[in-house]
Amino acid sequence: MIEARGLVKVYGGKPQKYAVQDISFTVRPGKVTGFLGPNGAGKSTTMRMIMGLDDPTAGRVTVNGRPYAQHKAPLREVGALLDAKAVHTSRSAWHHLRAMAATHGIPQQRIHEVIELTGLGPVATKRVGGFSLGMGQRLGIAAALLGDPQTVILDEPVNGLDPEGVLWVRNLARSLAAEGRTVFLSSHLMSEMAQTADHLIVIGRGRIIADASIQEILDGQGRARTRVRTGGPEGAQLLGRVLAGPGVSIEAREGCLLEVSGVEPRAIAQAALEQQVLVCELTPLQASLEEAYLDLTRDEVEYHSGALAGRPDAPDDVAAPAAAGRQS
Amino acid sequence: MSTTALQSPRTGMKAARPAGGVNFLRALHAEWIKFTTLRSTWILLATTLAAMVGIGLLGAWGVATALEQAADSGRDPGADGVRPQLLYLMPTGGIDFAQLIIGSLGVLLIASEYSTGMIRSTMTAVPDRLSPLFAKALVIAAVAAVTGIVSSFATYFLMQPVLAGYGQEFGLEVENLVPSMLLSGAYLALASLTALALGSLLRNSAGGIVTLVALFLVLPTVLGLIQLDWIQDALPYLPSNAGRQLLALEIAGGDLTRLQGGLVMAAWSAVLLAAAAVVTKVRDV
């Protein structure tokens, strides 16, 4: 169980950079929770804060009930692969695992077990510097499992793995979760997450943009909602009556606040115009995770290179609500 | 989350989970394993030993030759500044080089963990962060002390057959000789601790080693050339100058005593290590 509350991480320098802005989430045991976001979204920073390597600027994160550093036997509580390169390149895998095990008095038999489990046997006595990326990942996972932890955190575990390795990680994550453990793994690939995770936390530019089960996300696919705020409750009622129809769902949230799905934002605006209803807000809400995720990724790409700034291939139905949302 | 689920044959431990967590002794054990399982450790230790013994033997041979030539030409050897007493300094004569080599080991011990990323494994395994630092300090100080003592005694004994050819043997009863050889261990231990602190503060191998050389070798030489009173007054308090009193066989009246010199050198190590501890605790890994 991992619980983050109001987590903020600001990196110093000018200008200050928000790596993570006020995020809260809970990662529960017994399932695989995916942490999805484009590169630079704050996934690794968040994981480093969970592991006590980075101090949060504000907020708090606990693992199995207490901050990581306060556990008496942290490796038995939480195992993490934060970075496949968190190993001295001149040491052999076997000696690396021996040193890690020594900190917790973990018996040698367990080292053999994790070496066997991760398939490191043939290279265990070789220098880590000569490892392929995939072998490095396997060593990182072996170290993470050394303490037989209740919570397992894997940062981009399939990076650099061949298809067989990807499948192996996927099965490992699923079997760890099936044993009742908390499994939290990050990726920047939606497709990978869709195949491994039960639950998804999506992060973009340091903020959580979705936190839902895969099923909810699949159910929500294609059901774009729009939040409409009118000048007064009468207007909201009028607009609700006009928009009502087959395939349209309208929820009245407060007096003058509606959540509409099944109608394009543009059509809502058109109806409001015809009925002379004052609209103060017209905001498209997470059309679908894939779209929201793509939008974020696109923003990142624009930010970095500007090559896709024009986005001529962007579908109208994505671009239009975004534009409408900004104008309102 | 049931306990039976934790004992899956696939990923879990078949046996009951042994109790016990992190403590300083375990952190120390881990640091010892890490220290002994890098080839660079053994290369640098062997080089330290070779430097101490090699330079000591060469120095002894040179002094003995000079003494012999002076005797042959009938001049007073003291007139050339060559005295038999110089031989007594040779068991620890290689310390200037030895301190830099074992100091490099001290820097690398921690800085290489930062450069390879190993530090993240270290600090997640022992999250109080200070235990790994102090365990490293203990390991390097102990190893440096043993290396200093072993290499100065080795130099002394290997020197004797060389000196015998020149009729210049001397015994362990020479005043302050045995203490100086024993204290060469303390000197190298303190030097390596200062180096470890520099490596930890700078988190960079090259930067740490350069700073070490500057502090122990360049600064004493360069400042020695500057004829300003306050600089000349400060000179004896530089770590290598102060520490040199530990190895001195005779100490002039106005100089730092053996104890004072040792304490000044230890103060350098202590202050830098304390700074390293604070930075390690506060800064993100």
Cα distance between residue B270 and residue B189, in whole Å: 12
Q: How confident is the model at residue A291 (pLDDT cuts 50, 70, 90)?
A: low
Q: How confident is the model at residue A265 (pLDDT cuts 50, 70, 90)?
A: confident
Question: Which residue, of A212, A240, A256, is where some domain finishes?
Answer: A212
Question: Which residue, of A212, A233, A252, is where some domain finishes?
Answer: A212
Provide the greatest CA pair distance for chain A.
77
CA distance A186 to chain B (A): 18
- Are residues A320 and A280 both part of a single domain? yes
Buried b (16+ CB within 10 A) or exposed e, B200-223: bbbbbbeebbebbeebbbebbeee
pLDDT at A215 over 90: no
Average pLDDT rounded to a whole number, residues B81-101: 91
Q: Is B9 on the interface with A (CB under 8 A)?
A: no
Question: Which residue, of A145, A180, A212, is where some domain finishes?
Answer: A212
Q: How confident is the model at residue A319 (pLDDT cuts 50, 70, 90)?
A: very low
Of A80, A98, A179, the CB nearest to B11: A179
- Are residues A311 and A207 both part of a single domain? no
Q: What is the pLDDT of residue A197?
A: 93
DSSP state of A5: E
pLDDT at B42 over 70: yes
Residue pair A68/A74 in contact (Cβ under 8 Å)? The answer is yes
Could you please report the per-residue DSSP string of B12-56?
S-SSPPP-----HHHHHHHHHHHHHT-HHHHHHHHHHHHHHHHHH
Mark yes or no for CB contact B22/A100 under 8 Å: no
Q: CB neighbours (10 Å) of residue B82?
A: 20
Tens digits of residue pLDDT in A75-134:
999 999 997 789 999 999 999 999 999 999 999 999 999 999 999 999 999 999 999 888
Tens digits of residue pLDDT in B173-203:
999 999 999 999 999 999 999 999 999 999 9
Chain A residues whose CB is inside 8 A of the B12 CB are 148, 179
Mark yes or no for CB contact B120/A82 under 8 Å: yes
Whose CA is closest to A20, among A52, A51, A44? A44
- Are residues A56 and A202 both part of a single domain? yes
Chain B residues whose CB is inside 8 A of the A150 CB are 1, 6
- Angle made by CA atoms B275, B280, B284, in degrees to the nearest 5: 135
Whose CA is closest to B188, among B260, B99, B105? B99
DSSP state of B7: T
- Are residues A43 and A72 both part of a single domain? yes
pLDDT at B11 over 80: no
Nearest CA in chain A to B25: A103
Average pLDDT rounded to a whole number, residues A25-43: 92
ipTM, two decimals: 0.88
A251-255, A290-294, B2-6: least confidently modelled range: B2-6
Mark yes or no for CB contact A148/B34 under 8 Å: no
- Are residues A205 and A244 both part of a single domain? no
For chain A, the domain total comes to 2
- Are residues A157 and A52 both part of a single domain? yes
Restricting to B residues 163-192, those with a Cβ less than 8 Å away from any Cβ of A are none
Chain B residues whose CB is inside 8 A of the A69 CB are 127-128
Q: What is the CATH classification number for the domain harbouring A207?
A: 3.40.50.300
Domain ranges of chain B: 23-282
CA distance B184 to chain A (A): 30
- Are residues A125 and A235 both part of a single domain? no
Share of chain A above pLDDT 70, in %: 84
Mark yes or no for CB contact A100/B125 under 8 Å: yes
Average pLDDT rounded to a whole number, residues B232-246: 95
Tens digits of residue pLDDT in B134-187:
999 999 999 999 999 999 999 999 999 999 999 888 999 999 999 999 999 999
- Are residues A98 and A44 both part of a single domain? yes
- Are residues A245 and A208 both part of a single domain? no
Chain A residues whose CB is inside 8 A of the B30 CB are 99-100, 102-103
Collect all residues with Cβ–Cβ distance below 8 Å to A179 and sequence separation of at least 6. B5, B6, B8, B10, B11, B12
Of B12, B33, B38, the CB nearest to A90: B38
- Are residues A201 and A249 both part of a single domain? no
Mark yes or no for CB contact A74/B127 under 8 Å: yes
- Are residues A66 and A203 both part of a single domain? yes
Cα distance between residue B158 and residue B91, in whole Å: 9
Whose CA is closest to B26, among A86, A109, A106? A106
Mark yes or no for CB contact B125/A74 under 8 Å: yes
* Domain span at A292: 221-328
- Are residues A140 and A74 both part of a single domain? yes
